[in-house]
Amino acid sequence: MKDFNLAEYLHDLEYIVNIDSGSRHPAGVAAVANFMAQRYEAMGWHVTRHHFNNAVGPCLEIKNTHDNDYDVLIIGHMDTVFPVGTVAERPFSIKDGRAYGPGVADMKAGLLLAYYALKTLQDEGKLQHAKICVALNSDEEISSVYSRPWLEQLAVKSRHAFIMEPARANGALVNQRKGLGRYSFVIKGKAAHAGVDPEKGRSAINELAHWILSLHALTNIEVGTTVNVGVVHGGTAANVVAEHAAGEIDIRFVTMDEAVRIEETLKELVANPRTEGVTASFTGKVTRPPMNPSPATLRLCQATTEIAKKHNIDISWVATGGGSDGNFTAALGVPTIDGLGPIGGASHSPSEYLEINSIEPRLNLLRELILYVAQ
């Protein structure tokens, strides 16, 4: 590869990192989308903007073909977890071989890596027979609540899926992710004076305690299941039997059977309260199915490992409890590799960083993988 210019890449990275593009900031995401769209349009690719909900920014569907099936679907997200104003507090910077800034690794570096891989391959005349679709969404950090159907429609038309999330801090790629679910519950009791006539009350907080114990008991580390009641609130004063309580639950699981088991427990808690006279309800659902490697994915992983060795890139494979859009593609049976962005760490935190010396090796790996799946 002779046309890659690291300084140009870092200049582009600084530009898009210095755009606040939180999931709930449509204008910021739109600014990132405009930058990416202009780059691909300059290559002669077809760019379609999708607006799935006014609460979030646009999504981009980018193709080098008029065909309706693809050798590979490359997925990235333009949104970050950071609120407006973060860029003003800590803009893009470089220190000791690392780049810093909101979303620098998760995943603005990955957006650019895909673009530079495709641009350099096209400039070398190596994509003449490849059919590629790039999907950039705007709501990944809020579970892709609006873009999921679109991503799944593209995935079923694709022979492979590459997810441009950052490689792990140790350089590992991802071929397995847990499924995710989010639930909220509300408990209604009856208020009473806690010191004068507590027997007339029905404590929603007492029932809340039973919910927490019952739900946390479902955690089974050996099979990869975790249940966490991470937010609770209720009551109005210490001397009042609580009339109201509520909570929010995060679940992670390796198999859908475990998700069913957890939801059945929620239904049981609603049907059979431990505290006489209270009622309860819950809402929520599985937001991402588990990403488990199929035989076809494992074959693709093996090919990836062999390609990496040829380029003296040391990689390994990991499973993680965090979700990505790779959960959707893998659940549809599409061979999926995740973590194909440059190496980074401390995502979603003020110390999020990108290893600059990983950019070019990971670019080479991605280029070779694109050629491999397009042959």
Per-residue pLDDT tens digits for 125-182: 999 999 999 999 999 999 999 999 999 999 999 999 999 999 999 999 999 999 999 9
Characterize the bridge pairing of strands 317-320 and 173-177: parallel
Mean predicted lDDT score pLDDT of the chain: 97
Among candidate residues 274, 265, 188, 272, the one with its CA nearest the CA of residue 234: 188
Q: Please write the tens of the pLDDT for every residue from 345-374.
A: 999 999 999 999 999 999 999 999 999 999
Q: Residue 182: phi, psi to the nearest 5? A: -130, 130
Cβ pair 76, 340 in contact under 8 A: no
- Residues 6 or more apart whose CB falls under 8 angstroms from that of 34 comprise none
Q: Report residue 301's pLDDT band, with 50, 70 and 90 as the boundaries.
A: very high
Residue with tokens 């569907």: 61
Task: Examine the pLDDT at 276 and tell me if it is beyond 70.
Answer: yes
How far is 201 from 189, CA to CA, in rounded Å?
A: 7
Task: Examine the pLDDT at 2 and tell me if it is beyond 80.
Answer: no
Q: Is the peptide bond before 78 cis (omega within 30 degrees of 0)?
A: no
Q: Please write the tens of the pLDDT for every residue from 101-111.
A: 999 999 999 99
pTM of the predicted model as reported, rounded to 2 decimal places:
0.93
Q: What is the pLDDT of residue 3?
A: 74
CB atoms within 10 A of CB 220: 14
Q: What is the pLDDT of residue 330?
A: 97
Q: Please write the tens of the pLDDT for every residue from 54-70.
A: 999 999 999 999 999 99
**Domains in the chain, please, with CATH?**
6-177+291-373 (3.40.630.10), 179-288 (3.30.70.360)
Among candidate residues 289, 294, 299, 313, the one with its CA nearest the CA of residue 366: 313
Q: What is the pLDDT of residue 296?
A: 97
Residue with tokens 């979030």: 56
